Amino acid sequence: IKLLNSLNPSAKLPHWKKLSGPLLRHEVVQSEAEVKLQNVSALATVQCDGWKDISKFNLIAFMFTTMHKAHITHAHNVSSEWKNAKHLKSLILTEFENLEKEYCLDIIGLCTDASGESQAARLRILPDMPWLLVADCWVHQVFYLLTNGASLYVIFAS
């Protein structure tokens, strides 16, 4: 706000309710339409990751990547639900159906975090979709090595 006031002191900013209401909805609709037009029958990889937000809610978010662009699709609050491979598999399959129906994408890959539940969910999906490329996220692997690998090095070095 200070930056905008310094550039143009006479400019009036819209109220936050207008920004978070009709203006935001308009931009979301416009963005979704643009993504749908650009990606008809495109090959896509899907990524999913889970974390806790500031208020300690357990969230699982999905995004897809196609034509060198990433698009966030959904974030689910799973705080009151089971955190197991069966439930994650159902969320992933629902996301696949949504992307195929709404965006007309051909899903060729799935990347999840490096947790045991995520790995189990990926392995449960493979019999139904043997053509699907599945992988752990390398960032999670590197983080695991950096945080736990140092202690393993000390154990093996001594």
What fold does the segment set 41-157 form as a domain?
Nucleotidyltransferase; domain 5 (3.30.420)
- Cα separation, 34 vs 36, in Å, equals 5
Split at pLDDT 50, 70, 90, the class of 125 is very high
Cβ proximity of 48 and 73 under 8 Å: no
Chain-centroid distance, C-alpha 140: 14
Q: Tokens representing 31?
A: 């963005």
Residue with more model confidence, 155 or 131: 131
In the chain, where the domains are located = 1-38, 41-157
pLDDT (tens digit, 9 = 90+) per residue, 25-34? 887 788 777 7
pLDDT (tens digit, 9 = 90+) per residue, 75-122? 999 999 988 999 999 999 999 999 999 888 999 999 998 888 999 999
